[in-house]
Amino acid sequence: MSDVEGEVSTPAPAPAAAPAGGPMDLNTAIQEVLKQAYIADGLARGIRQAAQALDRRQALLCLLANNVDAPGYSQLIEALCQEHQIRLLKVDSSKTLGEWAGLCKYDKEGNARKVVACSCLVVTDYGGSTSSQAHSIIENYFKSK
């Protein structure tokens, strides 16, 4: 069990080191913010946890996959986000969102294996400082929308 935990923390610094040399794009910024939120136990994953966090107005950011099977699922999340004025980002794949949410295992090379799909993800606590470069990129994205 401790070997798995060590493998999970090994690939975490690699993506953070890459943007330091160059500019950070929106996807990299989202991944960085989600890592910090995961560490701070600030993620609600799945329809039940996400709907509860959205309804309680604890959500700071919501990510929704575009390839959701049930149309009522995405309508519910979009309606809750709109009702409570919570920021909503759409992601192409639920597998990608599952990997970003930490719903996977990493092999020795740092590649994600056994990724569980996640259709909805809500950030309830950013963790760390909110003055990071990744957080400011996401804020600027929503200001420009």
CATH code of the domain in which 54 resides: 3.30.1330.30
Domain that holds residue 119: 2-144
Within 8 A by CB and 6+ apart from 42, the residues are 123, 124, 125, 126, 127
Tell me: the pLDDT tens digits for 68-121? Answer: 888 888 899 999 999 999 999 998 888 888 888 887 777 788 777 788 888 899
* pLDDT above 70: percentage of residues in the chain: 83
Q: Given this model, what pLDDT does residue 63 score?
A: 92
Task: Output the pTM of the full model.
Answer: 0.75
Q: Is 100 exposed, middle or buried (0-12, 13-18, 19+ CB in 10 A)?
A: buried
Say what the pLDDT of residue 17 is: 40
Query: 56: which DSSP letter?
Result: T
Selected residue with higher pLDDT from 14 and 28: 28
Beta-bridge partner residues of 88: 62
Task: Provide the mean pLDDT of the chain.
Answer: 78
Examine the pLDDT at 1 and tell me if it is beyond 80. Answer: no
Residue 7's pLDDT band (cuts 50, 70, 90) = very low
d(CA 118, CA 22): 29
25: Cα separation from own chain's centroid: 15
Q: Please state, as a whole number, how many other Cβ atoms lie within 10 Å of the Cβ of residue 21.
A: 6
Structural domain count, the chain: 1
